[in-house]
Amino acid sequence: MRCDGLVAVVTGGGSGIGRACVEALLAAGARVGVLDLDPAGAPTDPRVHPVRADVADRASLAAAVASVADAYGGIDILVNNAGISAVGTVEDNDDAQWARVLDVNVTGIARTTAVTLPHLRRSRAAAIVNMSSIAAGAGLPRRVLYSASKGAVHAMTLALAADLVGEGIRVNCVAPGTVDTPWVARLLADADDPVAEKIRLAARQPTGRLVTAPEVAAAVVYLASPDSGAVTGTSLAVDCGLYGLRLAPPSRPD
């Protein structure tokens, strides 16, 4: 799980899972460009190059990616992590919300990948890791729009992997369960009873706890590192068993 001498770009690297990915890539020996609406949250380190960028704006992405490539002499790894939430049934989210969430979560990955590919093509260890979700593979209540966006991330990962395998560029995604990040803290803050809601979310996971951001980051580093050179077109679940396990309900006391 080493990335010595490699240069990574992490979108949304200023908070939560993205920030944990930056820290894990640094620990694995990489230098990291952080592209975020608010890059101030990125770790302070001479091997981190923070740039303000919006994945919904191709011009800002092109400038930010060029800035990282200039600073570090190329780009080998792209972690498409930036994403936004959407809560509600199909009747709750209006057209503007649909356009905004798909623009950031889906088209944002397409834009970032397109502007980074010329640099990845010059790398001998090129890898793309996209941030999917348990929502891509399991029906969660009141997540229609968000699930549609993450299902698209999974499908796009497979299609990108097919297009790029001949050029030696690997493309995979990670599908986390519920992860303890500022994002989930915001969701809990909106709940009627945040403490009860956190207990409910933890209980939904077969291990009885939330995933941690460093646990997701470890999977990202594996898929980004040349150590996973035989892995492309896959989705790696980091979800405390939420997708795959079917547990029997607790037995009733006699």
Residue from the set 133, 157, 172, 232 that interacts with ligand NAD by CB under 6 A: 133
15/157 with CB nearer ligand NAD:
15
> Where in 90-129 is the site for ligand NAD (CB under 6 A)?
104
Q: Which residues, including other chains, have CB under 8 Å from residue 206's CB and lie 6 or more apart? A: 240, 241, 242, 245, 247
Sheet of 31-36, strands arranged across: 48-52, 31-36, 7-11, 77-80, 127-131, 170-176, 235-238
Whether the Cβ atoms of residue 129 and residue 79 lie closer than 8 Å to each other: yes
DSSP codes joined into one string, 8-53: EEEETTTSHHHHHHHHHHHHTT-EEEEEESSGGGS---TTEEEEE-
- Shortest spacing between CB 231 and ligand NAD, in angstroms: 20
- Pick from 24, 228, 220, 225: nearest CA to 132: 220
The tokens for 242 are: 């939420």
58/226 with CB nearer ligand NAD:
58
168/189 with CB nearer ligand NAD:
189
243 is catalytic: no
Residue whose entry in the numeric block shows the structure tokens 């077109």: 233
Our finding on whether 228 is near ligand NAD (CB under 6 A) is no
Buried b (16+ CB within 10 A) or exposed e, 117-137: bebbeebebbbbbbbbbbbbb
The tokens for 8 are: 């990574």
- Shortest spacing between CB 113 and ligand NAD, in angstroms: 14
Q: Which stretch binds ligand NAD (CB under 6 A): 15-23, 115-123, 155-163, 229-237?
A: 15-23
Residue from the set 3, 69, 82, 120 that interacts with ligand NAD by CB under 6 A: 82
The binding track of 26-65 with respect to ligand NAD, each residue x by CB under 6 A or -, is ----------xxx--x-----------xxxx---------
Number of residues in contact with ligand NAD, rule: CB under 6 A?
A: 29
Q: Which helix (H) or strand (E) holds 78?
A: strand 77-80
Task: Count CB-CB contacts under 10 A for residue 221.
Answer: 25
- Shortest spacing between CB 81 and ligand NAD, in angstroms: 5
Q: Which stretch binds ligand NAD (CB under 6 A): 7-15, 69-77, 165-173, 224-232?
A: 7-15
Residue from the set 79, 131, 144, 217 that interacts with ligand NAD by CB under 6 A: 131
The binding track of 166-205 with respect to ligand NAD, each residue x by CB under 6 A or -, is ----------x-xx-xxxx---------------------
Q: How far apart are CA 49 and CA 36, in angstroms?
A: 11
User: What is the binding site for ligand NAD (CB under 6 A)?
Assistant: 11-12, 14-18, 36-38, 41, 53-56, 81-84, 104, 131, 133, 176, 178-179, 181-184
Catalytic residues: 146
